[in-house]
Amino acid sequence: MARLPYSRIAERLNKAQSAMEYLMTYGWAILIIAVVLGALFQLGVFNPMTFAPKAPPGACQVFRPNGPGATSFINLEGVCSGELPQYVGYFTPAGNSHINTAQFIPLYKRSFTVTAWINSPKAAEGPYDISIFGEGNSTKGCANDICMHLVIRSDTIYFGFFGDDISSSETLKDNTWYFVAWIYNITNNYKYIYLYGGGYSGLDSSGASANSFQLQSGTTCIGSEMTCGGAWFNGTIANVQIYNTSLSANEIQALYMEGIGGAPIRLQNLVGWWPLNGNANDYSGNGNNGQINNVNFVSNWYNGYTPP
């Protein structure tokens, strides 16, 4: 076999040496760039929703020309096309985060619906509860069936009041946005959980209630139990809506399809609406503005959210 001439060997060695020098010179820079790009990706900088139009706080609201509680001639005003919100509410158990609506939401002995978008980084952190929503009387606790709540306990959503619970059949995923609705229908004395997100959509659970809902006064909380005194939520919450009627399955699906920035429906039955887009104001026109307790409003919330 013929040997390569010395000049060719030297040429190849020079090329190899040049390649090694290039890697030594620029390798660390390439590695640093790769790390930075990975971090930016994790922060959602390259998420297409980062560049989508955002609705500023208060962009859409319900106008009630005859004042809070009035149901005549009401309508939506502003940009109500379902644009993504600029902010969502960030709740932490360590900070006892919650929002107290200050005024009790009257759901006494009638059908009702509550909906919200939620995302917990540790949905399985139970067995204790982390509350999405609660309503109750601090002087009586939950005696005599006077409280109701929606909580996450070990990956499972529980909707409880009247002294008994129904539970979700789905296991919640961490860092995933869900649209959840819980409904009580006084006509058939049934309660329901609807869940959308994480690969699941539709009616998740239902069950008969033991008693009539007797709560006539108390405290309404977002991100805490019914007395605003514990079971603090861990994660983000957006677009909380309350209706004094039981919405139909089609109406629940329509709310979900509007996305996380969707506007309410059935305005005549809308009791409270807290988008949590930068504040805890009630945009239902009923004046139930919330009192903020260690809740932050964050703009980088897109991870885990899949538009309907």
Instruction: Report the relative pairing of strands 112-119 and 291-293 from DSSP bridges.
Output: unpaired
- Record the pTM: 0.81
Residue 203 and residue 292 in one domain:
yes
Residue 38 and residue 64 in one domain:
no
- Residue 307 domain-assigned? no
Residue 33 and residue 77 in one domain:
no
- Residue 142 domain-assigned? yes
DSSP state letters, 281-295: --TTSS--PPEEES-
Identify the residue with better confidence: 127 or 80.
Answer: 80
Exposed/middle/buried for 154, CB within 10 Å: 0-12, 13-18, 19+? middle
- Residue 216 domain-assigned? yes
Question: In which element (H, E) is residue 132 found?
Answer: strand 130-136
Residue 275 and residue 181 in one domain:
yes
Would you say 83 and 54 are in contact if contact means Cβ atoms under 8 Å apart?
yes
Residue 22 belongs to domain spanning: 1-42
- Residue 49 domain-assigned? no
Residue 18 and residue 70 in one domain:
no
Q: What percent of the chain has pLDDT over 70?
A: 70
Q: What is the per-residue pLDDT across 112-136, written as a single tens digit (0 to 9) for each? A: 899 999 998 876 565 556 777 776 6
| Mean pLDDT, the chain, whole residue set | 80
Residue 118 and residue 180 in one domain:
yes
pLDDT band for 150, please (50, 70, 90 cuts).
confident
- Residue 47 domain-assigned? no
- Residue 237 domain-assigned? yes
Residue 89 and residue 197 in one domain:
yes
Spatial CB neighbours of 137, under 8 Å, sequence gap ≥ 6: 146, 147, 215, 217, 218, 219, 226, 227
- Residue 306 domain-assigned? no
- Give the total number of structural domains in the chain: 2
Instruction: Report the relative pairing of strands 60-63 and 235-243 from DSSP bridges.
Output: unpaired
Residue 155 and residue 235 in one domain:
yes
Instruction: Report the relative pairing of strands 75-78 and 84-85 from DSSP bridges.
Output: unpaired
Instruction: Please report, for the domain that includes residue 124, its CATH number.
Output: 2.60.120.200
pLDDT band for 18, please (50, 70, 90 cuts).
low
Q: What is the per-residue pLDDT across 221-230, written as a single tens digit (0 to 9) for each? A: 888 877 777 7
Residue 6 and residue 86 in one domain:
no
Residue 58 and residue 37 in one domain:
no
Distance CA(45)–CA(114), nearest Å, equals 33
Residue 80 and residue 207 in one domain:
yes
Q: What percent of the chain has pLDDT over 90?
A: 34
Per DSSP, what are the bridge partners of residue 226? none
pLDDT band for 145, please (50, 70, 90 cuts).
very low
Residue 92 and residue 169 in one domain:
yes
What is the per-residue pLDDT for 34? 59
- Residue 303 domain-assigned? no
